[in-house]
């Protein structure tokens, strides 16, 4: 006959939490990933934190992880988007500043909308690059807003994160 007396035992929530913590600590594997690579804007013009171009110099942290040609091609595409969109954004900003007093600031809205559109275009292009190349290499590029190290302004930078390599559990 089966003994079901152990089913009537009452455990406290602390006992269950300790049991779960012990089980998770023994089965967890610590995965170390390198620090992300940050590429700051190198252009002469910055509009709403978005620089007019990014530096195409290959960072040494990407050696043996990414070909310099692929890195340069991606940055050329990103800089191409910025080269096409930022001059128009600047023209709308100047026009908006000239008419700002008459329109109570509403004339700045086109410049803000165009800047948002530029960021969305960059995000879409970076997402395409990630899906077609960088996820396969264990990397993820993203456009991120960061505080400038020299002042209290905010700038957009490219961040290259390294994805953790998850071990595959194979049955023996």
Domain boundaries defined on the chain: 33-83+122-162
How far is the C-alpha of 144 from the C-alpha of 155, rounded, in Å?
A: 8
How far is the C-alpha of 137 from the C-alpha of 65, rounded, in Å?
A: 7
Smallest Cα–Cα separation from 158: which of 79, 89, 48, 67?
79
Helices 68-98 and 109-129 sit at what angle, rounded to 10 degrees? 170
Measured at the alpha carbon of residue 33, what is the angle toward residues 32 and 34, in degrees to the nearest 5?
125
Q: What is the pLDDT of residues 53-76, one digit of tens each?
A: 998 999 999 998 899 999 999 999
Q: What is the pLDDT of residues 71-128, one digit of tens each?
A: 999 999 999 999 999 888 888 888 888 887 787 778 888 888 898 999 999 999 999 9
Return the C-alpha torsion angle 143, 147, 151, 152, nearest 10.
120
């Amino acid at each position: 006959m089966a003994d079901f007396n152990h089913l009537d035992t009452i455990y406290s929530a602390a006992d269950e939490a300790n049991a779960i913590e012990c089980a998770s600590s023994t089965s967890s594997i610590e995965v170390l990933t390198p620090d992300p690579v940050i590429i700051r804007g190198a252009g002469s013009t910055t509009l709403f934190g978005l620089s007019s171009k990014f530096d195409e110099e290959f960072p040494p942290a990407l050696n043996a992880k990414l070909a310099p040609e692929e890195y340069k091609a991606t940055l050329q595409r990103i800089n191409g988007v910025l080269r096409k969109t930022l001059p128009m954004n600047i023209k709308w900003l100047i026009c908006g500043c000239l008419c700002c007093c008459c329109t109570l600031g509403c004339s700045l809205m086109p410049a803000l909308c165009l800047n948002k559109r530029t960021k969305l275009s960059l995000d879409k292009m970076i997402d395409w690059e990630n899906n077609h190349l960088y996820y396969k290499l264990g990397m993820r590029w993203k456009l991120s807003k960061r505080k400038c190290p020299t002042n209290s302004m905010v700038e957009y930078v490219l961040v290259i994160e390294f994805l953790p390599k998850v071990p595959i559990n194979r049955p023996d």
